[in-house]
Structure 1
Amino acid sequence: MRRVLAILLLWTTHSLAEQPVLRFSIAESWSMPLMRTEQDQPVEGILFELMHAIARETNTRPQYHLMARLRLQQAMRDGEIDVRCYVSTHWLTEPSGNYRWSIPLIEQRDLLIGRSGEYGTASADQLPAQAIGTVLGYTYPTLEALFAQGRLLREDSRNQSLVLHKLQAGRYQYAVSNQLSLQWFNRSLPPEQHLHVLAVLEEQALGCMVRDAPELPTQAVLEAIARIKQSGEMQRIIEHYGDIRQQAAPPSVAERPAHITPGQKSH
């Protein structure tokens, strides 16, 4: 019996070694439900399950590279990562070069939010001068003029979860958050303490970028991503962490005031 187990272990180890590696980037600014890491390795979250599914579908071994969000574009340029997910073309400051885009996978809303009882504001430019919760390294085009004028001050945190905790604790009255993170945060609070949506800053579809190189199964990865979306697996992953359709819908883009323009990018 021991010999059989030893043979199985050797066979499994050899099989893993034979699998080609697919290097995924992980942004330090991600928090649940996107991803949770332990000792610089992902352990759960929507994007962790997506990456695991891509590796499974392409018979590759996932390798995760945790880095600051501002390092991601340089890492792509240097060919240090093979797949970057949860990204939009609008977030890149230069052409994607030797990377190919997948189909859109996740619909994201970026929101202006406030604590329970804060309902008097319809847009960021109606706020009185104060600090507003933001994520370190993210850019917010809708708010840039207000930052430049000193009407709003950035109160940066290293990830979205910390922004929401500080808002709940009263460090500031308002913050910017994506809808997935807000939904996850509110799950742990009684309804009367929920953080609330005041305005939609931007809605956009996010996908993955795959390095186009001879040594990589680039087309196979793109086809795998398409299957994950079209089979419904992507939606099931999202719903596993809480179906955003169960949350009260924030104001739609069509309903928001005319002076609100698309906002947050570079996640």
Structure 2
Amino acid sequence: MIGYKIFLTWFKMTLWMLSLSCVAQVAQPARVTFVLNAPGAPPYSYLNSQTNEYQGVVVDFFAALERSLQLEVVYLDSSRARSEKFLHEGKADIMLSSTAWLVTPEKLIYSAPLLKHQSYLYGLKPLPEAFSLDTAPRLTICTRRSYFYPILQPYFAQRKLMRADSSSQSTMVNMLVKNRCDLAIMNEYNALAIFNEAQFCKTTFYQSVEPISSVNLNFILRPELTDIQVLINQHLVKFIRSGELEQSMQRHAKKINLAKRNACLNFTEMEDKAELTQLTK
């Protein structure tokens, strides 16, 4: 009888220890490195100057996965030119990008779309109503150095358009203001943020009616991470259907409209965004 009690106690202790081990294994999140273009840009991911931490739609998306102990995300500063290389070299695991911008998209895997990324042409004066890249005169376009623009690349290659590279969106706009280029191509959110800077507040900018480029943004992953790809796709469905994506966009996009608003007295709002006179108005 005593031997049976000892065996029963030992058996219960063994089961308890095994259960603790299983819980520890389940609770152990997968650690992944997310590489981004420092210092980032709203609303996707950008550096909070007060906390020195990243925030934005990307951070909001991964926050729930971190709370549920499914992922632990480390953010790594890089540049758009190096981010894809970091994935190939195993220095990073995930980035947010478009497959259209990748050098070797066939060597990586990607999630379902998170957002639409739209770029417009911006200038200091309206363009003709019938403006078309196919019939436009030989214009100089301000661009970001090392950025690949699929829609403009054929025109650059044929020298129908000239490319003027800059190190940042701010220097792009500065070149535009100084008439060193005829137009600048930018993401709509980057443009609104730059135009809200005090140095550009007295300048009127014109935005094209239609985007010059519209592509899907996906989470791009190393090909070995198929399990993380499945996890991200599952969470994407919930993130979008629950309205969390829309709420996150509204929360972080608003920061663009309010930035230095008092300094931008000529900067009015249109459809809850900063108003830009349309290029073909």
CA contact (8 A) 1:31 1:159 kept: no
Structure 2 partner of 1:246: 272
CA contact (8 A) 1:210 1:221 kept: no
Match of 2:245 among 234, 239, 258: 234
Give the TM-score of the pair, scaled to structure 1: 0.68
Structure 1 partner of 2:66: 55
CA contact (8 A) 1:25 1:66 kept: yes
Match of 2:181 among 155, 172, 179: 172
Letter in 1 for 2:104: E
Query: Please, which runs of 5 or more residues in structure 2 have no aligned partner?
Result: 1-27, 255-269
**1:28-51 Cα shifts (integer Å, max 9, x gaps):** 484344333479x75333334334
SS at match of 2:34: strand
Match of 2:101 among 91, 98, 118: 91
Cα distance in 1 for partners of 2:100, 2:222 equals 18
Distance 1:190 1:105, change over 3 A: same
Q: Which has the higher contact order (CA 8 A, sep 6+)?
A: 1
Distance 1:214 1:31, change over 3 A: closer
Asked whether 1:70 is paired with 2:76, we answer no
Structure 1 partner of 2:263: none
**1:220-267 Cα shifts (integer Å, max 9, x gaps):** 23322332222111111111133696347999xxx9xxxxxxxxxxxx
- Quick one: percent identity of the two aligned structures? 20
Cα distance in 2 for partners of 1:168, 1:158 equals 16
Structure 2 partner of 1:152: 161
CA contact (8 A) 1:55 1:61 kept: yes
SS at match of 1:119: coil
> Deviation of residue 109 (structure 1)?
1.5
Matches within 5 A, 1:194-205: 194-197=205-208, 199-205=210-216
SS at match of 1:172: coil
> Deviation of residue 165 (structure 1)?
4.3
Note the aligned Cα RMSD (angstroms): 3.6
Distance 1:76 1:55, change over 3 A: same
Matches within 5 A, 1:8-19: 19=29
Letter in 2 for 1:35: S
> Deviation of residue 176 (structure 1)?
0.6
Match of 2:149 among 121, 140, 146: 140
Cα distance in 2 for partners of 1:95, 1:193 equals 39
> Deviation of residue 24 (structure 1)?
0.5
Asked whether 1:129 is paired with 2:135, we answer no
Query: Please, which runs of 5 or more residues in structure 1 have no aligned partner?
Result: 1-17, 256-267
Question: Which of structures 1 and 2 has the bigger CA Rg?
Answer: 2
Give the TM-score of the pair, scaled to structure 2: 0.65
Structure 2 partner of 1:118: 126
